[in-house]
Amino acid sequence: MAAPAPSWRATPRARKGGAAWLTAASAAALFVLLPLLALVSEAVQGSAAHLAGIATTILPAALWTTLVLLAGVGAIAASVGTTAAWLVTAHDFPGRRMLSWALLLPLAMPTYIIAYAYLDILHPLGPVQGLIRDLLGYASPREFRLPDVRSMTGCVVLLGFALYPYVYIPTRAMFLTQSSGLLDASRTLGVSARARFWRVALPLARPAVAVGVSLALMEALNDIGAAEFLGVRTLTVSIYTTWITRTDLPGAAQIALALLMVVVLLVALERWARRSQRFASGGGRTLQPRKAGPFAGIGLLILGLIPILIGFAAPALYLVQAAWSRYQFAGVSARLAGEALNTILLAASATAVAAALGLVVAYALRIRPGPHSAWAYRLATVGYAAPGTVIAIGMLIVLGLADRTIDAAAHHWFGSAAGLVFLGSGAAVVLAYVARFLTIPAGAVEAGLARIPLSLDQASRTLGRGATGTFWQVHLPLSAPALAAGALLVFVDCVKELPATLLLRPLNVETLATHLYGEAARGTYEEAAMAALAIVVIAMLPVVLLARVGVMPNRHAAPRQEVRSGGAAAAAA
Partner 1 sequence: MSRFSRFFAAAGVALLATSAAQAQELNLYTTREPGLIEPLLASFKTATGIAVNTVFLKDGLAERVANEGESSPADVLMTVDAGNLVDLVEKGLTQAVDSAALKGAIPEALRDADGHWFGLSMRARVLYAAKGLDLAAISYEDLADPKWKGKICIRSGQHPYNTALFADYIAHHGAAETETWLKGLKANLARKAAGGDRDGAKDIAGGICDIAIANSYYVGLMRSGKSGEEQVAWGEAIKVLLPTFKDGGTQVNISGAAVAKHAPNRDAAVKLLEYLVSDEAQKIYAEANYEYPVKPGAPIDPIIASFGELKIDTVPLTEIVGHRKAASALVDAVGFDN
Of the listed pieces 79-87, 160-168, 176-184, 400-408, which binds partner 1 according to CB under 8 A? 400-408
Q: Does 293 bind partner 1 (CB under 8 A)?
A: no
Least CB distance from residue 468 to partner 1, whole Å? Answer: 27
CB 431 within 8 A of CB 399: yes
Least CB distance from residue 248 to partner 1, whole Å? Answer: 8
Q: Does 124 bind partner 1 (CB under 8 A)?
A: yes
CB 496 within 8 A of CB 513: yes
Q: Which residues contact 55 (CB under 8 A, 6 or more apart)?
A: none
Of the listed pieces 1-9, 368-376, 411-419, 436-444, which binds partner 1 according to CB under 8 A? 411-419
Q: Does 396 bind partner 1 (CB under 8 A)?
A: yes
The nearer residue to partner 1, 435 or 489, going by C-beta atoms, is 435
The nearer residue to partner 1, 336 or 568, going by C-beta atoms, is 336
Q: What angle do CA 516, 541, 121 make, to 5 degrees?
A: 45
Distance CA 234, CA 359 (A): 34
Residues 503-522 close enough to bind partner 1 by CB under 8 A: 503, 505-510, 514-515, 517-522
Residues 187-246 close enough to bind partner 1 by CB under 8 A: 228-233, 240-241, 243-246
Provide the mask over 246-265, with x wherever binding to partner 1 is found by CB under 8 A and - wherever it is not: xx-x----------------
Q: Does 401 bind partner 1 (CB under 8 A)?
A: yes
Q: Does 53 bind partner 1 (CB under 8 A)?
A: yes
Q: Pick from 40, 121, 305, 418: which binds partner 1 (CB under 8 A)?
A: 418
Least CB distance from residue 113 to partner 1, whole Å? Answer: 15
Least CB distance from residue 136 to partner 1, whole Å? Answer: 15
Least CB distance from residue 401 to partner 1, whole Å? Answer: 7
Least CB distance from residue 317 to partner 1, whole Å? Answer: 17
Residues 23-42 close enough to bind partner 1 by CB under 8 A: none
> What is the signed CA dihedral for 450, 452, 458, 463, rounded to 10 degrees?
-140
Report phi then psi at 209, rounded to 5: -60, -45
CB 336 within 8 A of CB 513: no
Q: Is 122 left (phi over 0), alpha (psi -120 to 50) or beta?
A: alpha
Q: Does 424 bind partner 1 (CB under 8 A)?
A: yes
Q: Which residues contact 195 (CB under 8 A, 6 or more apart)?
A: 186
Distance CA 323, CA 341 (A): 19
What DSSP assignment string belongs to 534-547?
HHHHHHHHHHHHHH
Q: Does 148 bind partner 1 (CB under 8 A)?
A: yes
Least CB distance from residue 325 to partner 1, whole Å? Answer: 7
Of the listed pieces 254-262, 394-402, 432-440, 468-476, which binds partner 1 according to CB under 8 A? 394-402
Distance CA 451, CA 454 (A): 9
Least CB distance from residue 157 to partner 1, whole Å? Answer: 15
Please give the size of the binding site for partner 1, defined by CB under 8 A. 81
CB 239 within 8 A of CB 390: yes
Least CB distance from residue 437 to partner 1, whole Å? Answer: 19
Q: Does 326 bind partner 1 (CB under 8 A)?
A: yes
Q: Pick from 45, 47, 57, 192: which binds partner 1 (CB under 8 A)?
A: 57
Distance CA 457, CA 473 (A): 10
End-to-end CA distance of the chain: 39
Q: Which residues contact 443 (CB under 8 A, 6 or more apart)?
A: 1, 358, 362, 381, 486
